Amino acid sequence: MWLLDVFKRSEKRKPRDEALERLESIVSRRKEITHKIPVEVFSKNSEEIKKEVVEIVSRKFNVPVERVKVDCQEEDGYVVIVTNINFK
């Protein structure tokens, strides 16, 4: 059988197909758009933001929402997110 394999034409991938595969991987790493939130808006909606962060973390680490504790604080114009996850 190996003799036949020698004559079998190796199937070459087209450069376009390879480029497409790599391009897909490049754009899939695209960072999601981040929005700048003014301090006043942040302080008014901090509870909603905390809830949203808890849901994201719970989905990401596959733990129930009850086991995720999040605290958001504004410091020097930045938001510090403190997350505590109980995996047990």
Positions in the binding site for another protein (CB under 8 A): 14-17, 19-20, 22-24, 26-27, 30-31, 33-34
Question: Which CB, 22 or 69, lies closer to another protein?
Answer: 22
Of 28 and 62, the one with the shorter C-beta distance to another protein is: 28
User: Phi/psi zone of residue 76: left (φ > 0), alpha (ψ -120 to 50 degrees), beta?
Assistant: left
Closest distance to another protein from the beta carbon of 65 (Å): 30
Q: Output the CA–CA distances (angstroms, integers) from residue 81 to 28, 43, 53, 63, 84, in the order listed.
A: 25, 14, 9, 18, 10
Task: Please state the closest distance from residue 13 (CB atom) to another protein, in A.
Answer: 9
